Amino acid sequence: MDKEKMTQENSMPGDDGLALDDEQRVKVLSPGMLVAKRFFRNKLAMAGLIILITMFVFSFVGGVVSPYRETQVFRVTEEFWKDYAGAAINTNWIFETREGAELSNAARQRFILVSTKGGGAFEADGQMLQAEERGLCFVLYENAPVATVMTLKGKSSFRPAEGFEVTEEMKAAFQKAVEAGEDGFELDGTAYSVTQSGREMTISSSEEIGMATKKVFNTPASDQEIGYEVQLAALEALAQAEATGEDQKTFTVDNKEYMLSAAANTSGMEIFADGELIGTISDLLVSSQTKGNFLSLNFKEEVEKAIAEKTDTFTAENSSGEEETYQLLSRNTQYVIRNRKNTIVNATYQSPSYAHPLGTDGNGMDMLTRLMYGGRISLLIGFVVILIETLIGIVIGGLSGYFGGWTDTALMRIVDVVICIPAMPLYIIIGAVMDYYQVDPRIRIYLLCVILGLLGWPGIARMVRGQILSLREQEFMIAAEATGVRISRRIFRHLIPNVIPQLIVIATMGLGDVILTEATLSFLGLGVKFPFASWGNIVNAVNDAYVLTNYWFVWIPAGFLILITVLGFNFVGDGLRDAFDPKMKR
């Protein structure tokens, strides 16, 4: 007891009663352990390290365990109103030609001008035509000159056209028409027209080739047609019915009897043959918005009924013969008919849900998965760029600092030139060139790393040069030179390792700058391109003000990840700087 008490009394404070020759000696920490001890005591540095570890796990492990792929597009089935047909009161001329006859586009255009004058003769493409108004239509005739007549002192001389003979009956009929002031006559079932040019008159045979009307004929089936003669006779019968106020009218074509009957609840007329509906006549033109889609008579009648009753919706048979509800919209003097369609579309801008915790983007891709893969790109670009910058900076700075003289001057002028290069305009030019040549998005990522690395090394080179200028005069370098160590070994084996602490600090803090630069370029459309994701091109969605204000989940998470990642690198960089500083307290 006395011996133990004496030992405690003779021990120094803080010595814990242990002598230097005891087995439990006080361990002296190595420089590396001192740096680590200082670093781990820094709370901000530890917070930054935790952030970075979390980001790496989120990006590299999260992408592996995610059930979705980076470019997987999700689709949903949506029901919406789609334009199905259009309707309007027809104001254009509809032409119908007899079998075997032709009517050129030029003739149709010339007829439109003649129709405003009530008809008459006109010429188109060397073809002489005559338009005769007949009730609800104009009948078109082709005039072929058969003879010319010159009248002098009351006597007429006839000069027949080649291959034609002027008979006495024709001369008599011509004289009678002229004396009566008529512009035509009929002989043996053939109509002839008379036109005068100066003192000369021309007799032309008129052959009926077609008609023009503003009435619309509809048929029950796409392969069913209403013949020319039936249409013409139906229009004549309709004109008579409108004049007398009749709801029904019969007419005969080729010894076959037809009947016109007013359609229920519409202004149109139905055409029956032997009691069977073969078509309708209407003022309303209903046309499909889809090429090749035939609209049934029932549908067109329901459209006309809905317009007359001014209803917003109506029910009619679709092309499959099934009842379907349609929507009727009025646009000035025209109408648009819409029907419901089930369409598979991209699930764009879906709100966060169990399946998609952060919703979907404008392409229908899972936002959380895109953020994971985007973190890989952003972090990898940061490390690759810093690696390129560090390697170039070490080589240029090491050679410049060690050799000095003209070598130092030349290399530092190169550094000055690179620093003076305007980075952002250069990025814009290179981005435009890559867009023009449609560079593959994957190759674009590699080129982006190279470009950022080639423009970012001057700062590291200057720091390395300044450190080596100081270190090369130290005793250990004199000893290395005296022992005959080659120059490359002196620089990269003895000098550069002494600059490593400063390099680590600069590289760590520079990672955040590189990630911000990449995010800025991608936001401007100059960086990583679709379909690959980076945090920068994800935030690019805020270029649309509507997305910015309505879909926060598209851009806020990516912006938040950029923020905390850059903060994490800055915290770690500050912690390393403080840890490597020998003047810092333990």
570 in the same domain as 457: yes
137 and 244 housed in the same domain? no
- Residue 582: the pLDDT is 56
pLDDT(1) > 70: no
Query: pLDDT at position 215, please?
Result: 92
Clarify whether residues 245 and 207 are in a common domain.
no
Residue 286 and residue 301: Cα distance in Å, rounded? Answer: 10
Residue 526 domain-assigned (yes or no): yes
Same domain membership, residue 321 and residue 261: yes
Average pLDDT rounded to a whole number, residues 76-92? 87
Range of the domain at 339: 214-344
Q: What is the mean pLDDT of residues 547-563?
A: 90
d(CA 236, CA 101): 21
pLDDT surpasses 60 at 446: yes
The CB-side HSE value for 129 (13 A sphere, CA atoms) comes to: 29
Distance CA 363, CA 349 (A): 8
End-to-end CA distance of the chain: 38
User: What dihedral do alpha carbons 229, 232, 238, 243 form, nearest 10°?
Assistant: -130
Q: Which of 256-265, 492-501, 561-570 has the highest mean pLDDT?
A: 561-570
Same domain, 289 and 301: yes
Residue 1 resides in a domain = no
Q: Of 15-19, 308-312, 441-445, give the lowest mean pLDDT range.
A: 15-19
What pLDDT is recorded for position 9?
47
Among candidate residues 212, 246, 278, the one where a domain is terminated: 212
Instruction: Assess whether 426 and 524 both reside in one domain.
Output: yes
Q: How far apart are CA 143 and CA 83, in angstroms?
A: 45
Q: Does the residue 273 lie in any domain? A: yes
| Same domain, residue pair 230 and 192 | no
Q: What is the pLDDT of residues 431-442, one digit of tens each?
A: 888 888 888 888
How many other C-beta atoms are found inside a 10 Å radius of the C-beta of residue 34? 16
SS3 of the chain: helix, strand, coil, percent, to 5: 50, 25, 25
Residue 295 lies in a domain: yes
Tokens of 424: 């952002």
- Domain identity same for 555 and 494: yes
pLDDT for the residue 178 = 82
- 532: tokens are 């690959």
The pLDDT score that the predictor gives to residue 583 is: 56
In this prediction, residue 14 has a pLDDT band, given cuts at 50, 70 and 90, of very low
**Is residue 19 one of the residues assigned to a domain?**
no
pLDDT (average), residues 302-324: 84
Structure tokens belonging to residue 179: 């004396």
User: For position 13, what pLDDT does the model report?
Assistant: 47
Rounded to 10°, the helix 31-41/552-580 angle is 140
How crowded is residue 573: how many other Cβ atoms within 10 Å of its Cβ? 21
Count of the separate structural domains present in the chain = 3
Same domain? 479 vs 425: yes
Average pLDDT value for residue range 194-220: 83
CATH number at residue 500: 1.10.3720.10
Average pLDDT of the residues in 89-103: 88
> What's the pLDDT score for residue 586?
43
Paired with 127 in beta bridges are 124
Specify the pLDDT at position 10: 47
Distance (Å) of CA 31 to CA 34, 37, 43, 52, 476: 5, 10, 21, 25, 18
| Tally of CA atoms within 13 A in the half-sphere of 26 that contains its CB | 7
- Please give the Cα distance from 169 to 1 (Å, whole number): 166
* End residue of a domain, out of 212, 236, 257: 212
The reported pLDDT for the residue numbered 221 is 83
pLDDT confidence of residue 438: 85
Whether 510 maps to a domain, the answer reads yes
**CA gap 203, 187 in Å, rounded:** 12
Q: Are residues 410 and 493 in the same domain?
A: yes
Q: Are residues 146 and 261 in the same domain?
A: no
Question: d(Cα 300, Cα 303) in Å, to the nearest integer?
Answer: 5
Q: Mean pLDDT over residues 444-449, rounded?
A: 88
DSSP 224-274: ----HHHHHHHHHHHHHHHHHT-SEEEEEETTEEEEEEEPTTSS-EEEEET
509 and 487 together in one domain: yes
Inform me whether the pLDDT recorded for 368 exceeds 90. Answer: yes
The answer, yes or no, to whether residue 502 has pLDDT greater than 60, is yes
Does position 47 have pLDDT exceeding 90, yes or no? Answer: yes
| Inter-residue contact 539 to 523 (CB < 8 Å) | yes
pLDDT band at 370 (very low <50, low <70, confident <90, very high): very high
> Last residue of a domain, which of 171, 188, 212?
212
pLDDT of 29? 60
Domain for residue 14, yes or no? no
Q: How confident is the model at residue 265 (pLDDT cuts 50, 70, 90)?
A: low
Q: Is residue 533 part of a domain?
A: yes
pLDDT level of residue 93 (50, 70, 90 thresholds):
very high
